[in-house]
Amino acid sequence: MILQNVLSPAEIQSVTDLIARVMDEKTEVLFREGRIANKYAELPVETRWAKICEMSPQQASGWNQEVFSQAVYELCTNSKLLNSCEQYLGPEITLNGDYWVRPKVPHEDLTTLPWHQDSFYYNGAENDNLSYRILSFWIPLVDVDERNGCMQVIPGSHKWGLIPYASLGNKRVPVEDVEARGEVITARMKKGDILIFNQLTLHRSLPNVSEGVRWSIDIRYTPTGQSFSWHELTGPGFEQRYSTLIVRSRCNPERVQDFNDWKTKKQ
């Protein structure tokens, strides 16, 4: 489901400013190591990283640890997002620290994700049914459409259960032709809109054939108390890397954790 005009320009800008700072740091390192010849400091966030990646293709499709910050905390605990989340998950909400800033670079495969249910990457276990809930909020930081690699979703696919999948390189893809089974919706969105789906909704992002980077951030919530055994299945150290946080509690508001709590958990 797409909700329009949820976040204000200022709320989006604080994440864009964070990206600009992290990009500066990454660019400095690449320059010092002699992997790029130009820092393109004069370019805006939308195009600068594309130029850097032309000179030095990156290995990671998303940024997580490097963008851990007060700005991400503020976004994840934004009351408008939590109010929407509460409608689906109820009033006791835990942030799952598996959030990603995605620099979807033009004409590049690494950041183009084929059709998948997020559960493909959670190694089955108990997240393969709807009584288990992991809710994603996908938030574009630039306007998105078919040209710069917006998302597509198949509404209703979350009711299909975990569908069979196979590995393709480091990606996981459905075995069946999912487009023949459901209607594909192209999620054209403006800055400020949010796309909400769960771990069983089939989704993908289209290739970016524009000249700019399609920046977005996706964040995930679960009902407080739901087990994180699927986290453990993704490998040791998950809780340290992706520390979870109670972000809303109507029953015990004093349980809500702040940014310092999050920092402490990660140490």
161, 167, 177: which is closest to 119 by C-alpha?
Answer: 161
Q: How far is the CB of 202 from ligand AKG (least distance, A)?
A: 10
DSSP string, 149-216: T-EEEETTGGGG-SPPEEEETTEEEESS-GGGTS--EEE-B-TT-EEEEETTSEEEE--B-SSS-EEE
- Closer residue to ligand AKG, CB minimum distance, 31 or 100: 100
- Closer residue to ligand AKG, CB minimum distance, 170 or 267: 170
| Strands 151-154 vs 202-205: parallel, antiparallel or unpaired | antiparallel
CA–CA gap between residue 129 and residue 161 (Å, rounded)? 6
What's the number of CA atoms in the CB half-sphere (13 Å) around residue 70? 3
Q: How far is the CB of 2 from ligand AKG (least distance, A)?
A: 14
- Closer residue to ligand AKG, CB minimum distance, 71 or 144: 144
223, 265, 257: which is closest to 91 by C-alpha?
Answer: 223
Q: How far is the CB of 121 from ligand AKG (least distance, A)?
A: 8
Instruction: Name the strand (E) or helix (H) holding 106.
Output: none
Structure token pair of residue 238:
């998950």
Q: How far is the CB of 153 from ligand AKG (least distance, A)?
A: 10
Q: How far is the CB of 42 from ligand AKG (least distance, A)?
A: 27
- DSSP tag of 258: -
- Closer residue to ligand AKG, CB minimum distance, 186 or 252: 186
- Closer residue to ligand AKG, CB minimum distance, 104 or 191: 104
- Closer residue to ligand AKG, CB minimum distance, 71 or 113: 113
207, 227, 176: which is closest to 109 by C-alpha?
Answer: 207
Q: How far is the CB of 102 from ligand AKG (least distance, A)?
A: 4
Q: Which residues bind ligand AKG (CB under 6 A)?
A: 102, 104, 113, 118, 136, 138, 203, 205, 216, 218
Residue of minimal Cβ distance to ligand AKG? 205
